[in-house]
Amino acid sequence: MRVGVDVGGTFTDLVAVDEDGEIDVRKVVTTPEDPSVGMFRAIETAGRGEGGRATAIELLVHGTTIATNALLERRGARVVLLTTRGFEDLLWLRRQDRAALYDLARDHAPPLVARGDVLGVAERMGPGGAQESLTDAEIERVVAAARALAPESVAVAFLFAFRHPEHERRVAAALRSTLAGVPVAASHEVLPVFREFERISTTTVEAYLRPRVSAYLARLDQDARSRGVGTLRIMTSAGGTLAPAPAACRAATLALSGPAGGVVGARLVGAVVGLSELLTLDMGGTSADASLVTGGAAVHDGGGAVAGVPLALPSILIETVSAGGGSIARVDQGGALKVGPDSAGAVPGPACYGRGGTRPTVTDACLVLGWLDAASPLADEVRLDPAAAQRAVAALGETAGSDPAAIAAGIVAVATAVMARALRRVSVARGLDPRRMALVPFGGAGPLFGCALADALGMRTVIIPPHPGVLSALGLAAAGERVDLLASHHRELDRLQPTDIGRAFSALLREASEQLPGGALWRYADCRFVGQGYEVTIPVTTNHPRQIREAFLAAHRERFGHSGSGQPVELVNLRVVAIREAPLPRFGERGGAATVSRGERSVALGRGRGRGGKRVTASVWALDDLAVGVTLDGPAILAGRDATALIEPGWRGAAHASGAVVVERV
């Protein structure tokens, strides 16, 4: 049995896929004090057959928030940073851009290292090699200075180390020999590409996270083995998995571990229903994550920031906004209704959970509007309390000046607008037309907002996946192994021969084959016009420079609407990805027997003109038991074991053989 476990801010989701591809689902409340407690509680109940006998777990894939939370909460290691003398302030200088263009009071997140813990090293590499030699005496000096600061981790990032790493290697070796047990992250090992600020920032992130992540993964691996788990693997931000030991040495690659699993799952569902152009939205308890699948593949990004900290490692393109089911609604000083960024989390949770929460959340608003069924238990038999939700939303009315239903409709409208902006940023802002794509909303709350979000973007197709509330965990269970390697190779294409390009890729291909034997190898290149400040990543299927140029021009034209006017093109970075795919879950032949609704319920839709939205009568269906081909006209509520979906008026759904529901604009 393969098991995927996604630890979210509110719930921990588990999907087990047996050797026949059958799917088993578990959902428990997250244990924030130790996420592994909730995870193993879910595992202990998974796959139990007759007599309570547990099926052996061959593989456990874990999507972890340990790195993300450490960055958000600033609870990483004390880092000492060694960098080229004269460049000690680079993390503070950044790129001289503003955190918010029109907000003069807003500043960037501070660096992860204290200014007093940055040591300048008397050495200097240039493009052609050493400009200032690194002496043995200087190495002794900086190692002694670093030891005196009592670091929990050390980052080493020198100028031009991506091309000439000799100085970094010597200093890192001396640190590892002297500071036994203290992790040392060197930039030529973490991110061997140009752009000094991003490389130094990413190396600092790695050093900041490595002690906490490595300790967590070591304990997790030991606990998994003690419970009879065959193999533990960790999801990375790039959508592949790593064993615990290499993952512990690449802690920064786990910054978007959890959300990446959802995109993998959405891609699989799209393939099953025959759609390859997708916008995805994972709406959990704390946040909503928007992403993109085009040509049947997840879109990857080579840069970005997590918790305001620049991180330039390969990752699936994800835009995160604070619009989860547990996001708290409030009225700001100007009288505007806001949703997030604060979240009720798992403890105390939304007011309607009855676990001590009193502030109104998106989930409370959905319950007040009638979208959720108070009689249906959530994870760990958590039942919804309509009276508590009503009180929490009504309390907001003391400042908002309206009735609870109208306030709830406003909360939902604000959350929808926030998520729609995120979807536009991953599609329209990248030159892609969302009207030609299908929306895949998932997570515990996502399917409730699918039709409204599709309307906001002019989309006509929504796919409600099978088991939408745990799709991220399903993506984890079905994720393959993946290794990403990259190297700087700054050359003009017109000055290269096919043999030059082949040689440049050969070392990366060899290393990828060693790290993942038998994996399929894919080559990519970051290209740009000479003088341009950004790159476009393209697949490389040939060593011929002219054909690589044509591929770049076509990609640039699609992304930015033009292909230059004869400017020369240059290679910047080379990338090699090794992938070993995992067995896929069996989606087919999962149709149920339900051909008629099981009742009706009065719901309020937020876009009506009346107070609290327009009241309509919606049919209620069992999402997990729909017969193949049955049609559902909106308004309709689809109540599942792990999530609830809403089909709004003007939309019609059809149950697919995979268990998905394909909803179209009528």
- One-character DSSP codes across 284-329: -SS-EEEEEEETTEE-EES--EETTEE--S-EE--EEES-STTEEE
User: Mean pLDDT across the stretch 72-88?
Assistant: 94
Could you identify the residue written with the tokens 């290679």? 571
Give pLDDT, residue 607.
52
For 94-139, what is each residue's pLDDT tens digit?
Answer: 988 888 888 888 888 899 999 999 999 999 999 999 999 999 999 9
Domain that holds residue 553: 482-580
Domain boundary at 163, 182, 201, which?
182
Give pLDDT, residue 593.
76
Domain boundary at 182, 200, 233, which?
182
The count of C-alpha atoms lying within 13 angstroms of the C-alpha of 122, restricted to the half-sphere facing its C-beta, is 9
Distance of alpha carbon 254 from alpha carbon 270, whole angstroms: 25
Categorize the per-residue pLDDT at 276 as very low, low, confident or very high, splitting at 50, 70 and 90.
very high
In a domain, 392, yes or no: no
In a domain, 558, yes or no: yes
In a domain, 649, yes or no: no
The residue that leads in pLDDT, 151 or 595, is: 151
- Sign of the torsion angle spanned by Cα atoms 457, 463, 467, 473: negative
In a domain, 655, yes or no: no
User: Mean pLDDT across the stretch 581-595?
Assistant: 72
Helix (H) and strand (E) counts for the chain? Answer: 16, 35
Distance of alpha carbon 225 from alpha carbon 57, whole angstroms: 10
Categorize the per-residue pLDDT at 612 as very low, low, confident or very high, splitting at 50, 70 and 90.
low
User: Mean pLDDT across the stretch 327-354?
Assistant: 85
In a domain, 371, yes or no: no
Does the pLDDT of residue 611 top 50, yes or no?
A: no
In a domain, 576, yes or no: yes
In a domain, 512, yes or no: yes
Is 625:557 a contact under the CB 8 Å cutoff? no
- Supply 612's token pair: 């609290």
Residues whose CB is less than 8 angstroms from the CB of residue 352 and which lie 6 or more positions away in sequence, other chains included: 363, 364, 367, 384, 385, 386, 388, 389, 392
Domain CATH for 569: 3.30.1490
**Looking at the 3D structure of the chain, how many domains does it have?**
2
Domain boundary at 525, 554, 580, which?
580
- Supply 316's token pair: 């699936």
Does the pLDDT of residue 173 top 60, yes or no?
A: yes
Comparing 246-260, 298-312, 351-365, 581-595, the range with the smallest average pLDDT is 581-595
In a domain, 142, yes or no: yes
For 192-211, what is each residue's pLDDT tens digit?
Answer: 999 999 999 999 999 999 99
Give pLDDT, residue 87.
96
For 456-510, what is each residue's pLDDT tens digit?
Answer: 999 999 999 998 989 999 999 988 899 999 999 999 999 999 999 999 999 999 9
